[in-house]
Structures are given as C-alpha cells and as structure tokens.
Amino acid sequence: MAAAANDSAAPPADEPPPTTEAWHPNEKLAAQLQSQWEWVGGAVAKFQVQQEARAGWLRATVRGAREGAAATAAAAASTYAAASSTYEWLTTPSDGALQLKARALELRRAYPGAFVAAVTAVSVLPALRARSPGAFLRYGAIGAGGSVALLYPELVMRCAPHVREAQGKLESKWKSATGSA
C-alpha cells in the first residue's frame, strides 16, 4: 500500500504544482519582492566594494603616513648620531695636539719670564704704532699683569696676602695724610 501512496497524482505539499498557474495567490508579489531584493542586494554589494576600496585607500594612506614618520624618525636619529660623533671627533684633541700642549706647559713652567715678556711685547705693539707713551705704559701694564694673572694663577694666589697687607698700609698712610677717619 505504501507503493500505491507514492504513485498518487497529488503533488507533495512542498512543491508547487507543475502547472503555469500560481498555486498561491501572493506568488506574483513574492516574485516582485524577490526582484527588488536582488536590486537591493546588488546595491549593497556595490556599496561594499566601494567601501572596501575606500578602506584600502584609508589603510594605504595611514600606512604611508606611518612609514613616512618612521623614516623621518630614523633619519633624525641617524643625523643626531652622526652629529654627535662629529662633535666628539672635533672636540677631542689628537695625540699630537696633546703632546704639543704638554710641551708648551713645560716651557711655560720652565721660562715664566720669557712668556710674560712675549705677551707684554705683543700687547704694546699697538701703542708703539700710535707713538703714544701713555698708551705704551697702559698696554704694557695690562699685558704684563694680564699675562701673569692668566698664565700663572699660583703666583697671584701666593702674592695675594702680601698685596692685601700692602694695601692696608697704603690706606692707613692715605688716611693719616689726608686726615680722614
């Protein structure tokens, strides 16, 4: 009997009848909705493609800006490193310069009078050219005193107490001579 039930002429409930007529009254409406949804689906797909293209552009723009900033930072770091090494190279004296400096300091210690005389001679040259005895004395005193103070600070420190004592004596003589208290 089961075979007789399968051979029956009634269509199954899931499938529409084989006729061209609609088996459901809203089938035309369903077909229209389906065609409209296909249009909406196409528009959404097109929009998604455009958004992906925009997202790709934004992603590429952000990536380019990030890589540019990283390259600029790397260039700045390498420039700083190069400038630092150049500064170190320029400010570090060579071995020859250090030896020359040591030899000049030895000569300065060995012949202090010659150095003071040389500095004084160089400092009075403008006064000799101007032929002014006042300028000659002024430049000579400044040159000799300055060279002694700059080249031999230990001499100044050794002489300071004696100069202070002499200054006190001169002040007391001045006050007694002028009568001021």
In a domain, 115, yes or no: yes
Give the DSSP H or E segment for 115: helix 112-130
Residues 164 and 147 in one domain: yes
pTM over 0.85: no
Q: Do 100 and 81 share a structural domain?
A: no
Residue for token pair 């190069």 = 82
Domain boundary among 57, 92, 127: 92
What pLDDT sits at residue 11? 47
- Residue 70 is predicted with a pLDDT of 95
The answer to the question of residue 120 being in a domain is yes
Decide: helix, strand or coil at residue 10.
coil
Report the C-alpha gap between 87 and 104 in whole angstroms.
Answer: 25
pLDDT in the model for residue 86: 94
Q: Determine the Cα angle at 60 with ends 56 and 61, to 5°.
A: 120
**Residue 14 dihedral angles phi and psi, to the nearest 5°:** -80, -30
Q: Cα–Cα distance between 142 and 154 in angstroms, integer?
A: 18
Residue 47, amino acid: F
Spell out the per-residue pLDDT of the chain, length 181, in tens. 444 444 444 444 555 555 555 556 677 777 777 777 787 778 888 887 777 777 777 778 888 899 999 999 999 999 999 999 999 999 998 899 999 988 988 887 788 777 777 777 777 777 777 777 787 788 777 777 777 777 777 777 777 788 888 888 888 888 888 877 5
The answer to whether residue 27 is domain-embedded is no
CA distances from 119 to 43, 46, 80, 147, 174 (A): 94, 90, 42, 6, 34
Residue 21 is predicted with a pLDDT of: 56
Does residue 55 share a domain with residue 37? yes
What separation in angstroms does the CA of 102 have from each of 96, 109, 153? 10, 11, 18
Domain count of the chain? Answer: 2
- Choosing from 48, 76, 92, the residue where a domain stops is 92
> In the structure encoding, which two tokens stand for residue 5, read together?
């039930």
| Domain hosting residue 167, numbered range | 95-171
